[in-house]
Structure 1
Amino acid sequence: MKTLANLVISLVVAIWVVAIAIISVQNATPVSLKFFTFQSIQIPVGLVLAFSAGVGIIGVALLQPLWGLSAPQRKYRSEDDAEFFVDDDF
C-alpha cells in the first residue's frame, strides 16, 4: 500500500512540474508582485509559479508532523460508544 501512495505522490508532483514548465514557456512575460506597499522586481510568470509550488511543498512537508500532534487518537472504546451503535428493534 505504501508503494501505491508513493507512486501517486510522484505522479502528482510530476504533473505539477510539467504544468509549470508548459505555462512558463507559454507565458514568458515578466510580472511584478505587490504585497501591501511592497513591490517585487519583474520576474517571469513561470518562475513565480515554480517558486510558489516549491514553497508550498516545503511548507506542507514541515507542517505535516504538527497536524498529527493536534488531534490525539483514541485507542480504546468506552461502553458509551458501544451502546450508541446497538441496533435495537422496538
Structure 2
Amino acid sequence: MKTLAPFLTSLVIAIWVVAIAIISVQNATPVSLKFLTFQSVQIPVGLFLAFSAALGLIVMAVLQPLWGLAGSGQGNSRLEDDAEFFVDDEDF
C-alpha cells in the first residue's frame, strides 16, 4: 500500500510532462508575457509551461517540509487521537 502513493505521484507528473510536450509541439510560435509595465522576451508557450511546472514543483518541494515543521507541535495529540480511533474491537 505504501508503494501506491509514489506510483500515483509519478503517474500524475508523467501525464503533466506529456501534456506539456504535446502543447509545446503544437504551439511552437513564440509569445511575450506582459505584466503591468514588464515584458518578457519571446519564448515558445511550451517552454514557458515547462518552466512554470518546474518552478511549481520546486516551490512545493521546499514548502512541504516547512509545513511539517509548523504542525509538529500538534502532531502528538493527533497521533493519540488516531490511536484511540483505530481500536481493535476484538480485544473487548
TM-score by length of 1: 0.78
Structure with the higher helix share, 1 or 2: 2
Q: For 1:76 and 1:17, how far apart are their aligned partners in 2?
A: 40
Shift of 1:2: 2.3
Residue 42 of structure 1 pairs with residue 66 of structure 2: no
- What's the counterpart of residue 55 of structure 1? 55
Residue 8 of structure 1 pairs with residue 12 of structure 2: no
Q: Secondary structure at the match of 2:3?
A: helix
Q: For 2:80 and 2:12, how far apart are their aligned partners in 1?
A: 36
- What's the counterpart of residue 31 of structure 1? 31
Shift of 1:70: 2.2
Q: Which amino acid aligns with 1:69?
A: L
- What's the counterpart of residue 69 of structure 1? 69
Structure 1 residue runs of 5 or longer lacking an equivalent are 78-90
Q: For 1:31 and 1:50, how far apart are their aligned partners in 2?
A: 14
Which entry has the higher C-alpha Rg, 1 or 2?
Answer: 1
Where in structure 1 do 4 or more consecutive aligned residues deviate above 3 Å?
none
User: Kindly, what percent of the aligned residue pairs are identical?
Assistant: 71
Q: Which amino acid aligns with 2:29?
A: T
How many residue pairs match? The answer is: 77
Q: Which amino acid aligns with 2:14?
A: A
